[in-house]
Structure 1
């Protein structure tokens, strides 16, 4: 069980939130290869590139927890699974709606996807900050 205290250090919340924003930028943009980005969007053969992309997210999340609270490093796997599901759902919706970057619907889906990732990270940041505040 993960214990979240009633009070968490403001400094820890700010630091954990910033760490997850940086982690997301690294994993979703700087470390995502063309193979991952294009491959996860295909109707077939999408699993290996999506798994690799989500695995990068999971590994970076695990690294953050390893630095603060090693017993919670398993949350990296949870993050990878959630990230992969969200990206796959966005891909299916993009294909179903047949939207391109020149259409508003594409950006609505992109924005929803990014917002859901950031909400996931907000939850993870609270857990990281709670663990850090307890130290």
Structure 2
């Protein structure tokens, strides 16, 4: 029995929620979190490792459902890299480190929203390619 588009969307939403949990919370190490905040170019390697985890998981999802859309894993990498750097950079939102203030939580929420919107865009492409 083939899934309807709406069933497919819900399955993908759950899969991408699990991917986000694993990539941003379970597999993100302290080294990655601290490294993303480095000034100069010291942030590049730890941030690249972190977003590569996300990109590889996205690639795995894409390969299972629609291998021809593999390039969306690169899109996920680029968006995640840019957003996490903006959130963590001491020149941008990374200067807000007090978890008791709204100035910390608003960028955190924007970061998560951007990641979810990226997933929705990927899901939209998967559905449209059926």
TM-score (norm 2): 0.88
Write out per-residue CA displacement over residues 66-108 of structure 1, whole angstroms, 9 at most, x where no aligned residue. 0011111121111011100000111232234x44212111001
For 1:54, what is the secondary structure of its paired residue?
A: helix
Q: Which runs of 4+ in 1 moved over 3 A?
A: none
Bigger relative contact order (CA 8 A; separation at least 6): 1
- Could you tell me which of 85, 88, 92 is aligned with 1:91? 88
Given that 2:86 and 2:94 are in contact with CA atoms closer than 8 Å, whether structure 1 keeps it comes out as: no
Partners of 2:127 and 2:22 lie apart in 1 by 20
Residue of structure 1 equivalent to 2:122? 124
2:44 to 22, 44, 47: 47
Deviation at 1:24, TM superposition (A): 0.8
Query: Which residue does 1:3 correspond to in 2?
Result: none
Cα–Cα, structure 1 residues 90 and 83, in superposed 2: closer, same or farther, change >3 Å? same
CA distance, structure 2, for counterparts of residue 9 and residue 95 of structure 1: 40
Equivalent position of 1:17 in the other structure? 13
Unaligned runs of 5+ in 2: none
Describe the SS at the equivalent of 1:43.
Answer: coil
> Could you tell me which residue of structure 2 aligns to residue 35 of structure 1?
31
The answer on whether the counterparts of 1:16 and 1:129 sit within 8 Å (CA) in structure 2 is no
User: What count of residue pairs does the alignment treat as equivalent?
Assistant: 124
What 5-or-longer segments of structure 1 have no aligned partner?
A: 1-7
Partner SS state of residue 100, structure 1: coil
Q: Corresponding residue for 2:66?
A: 69
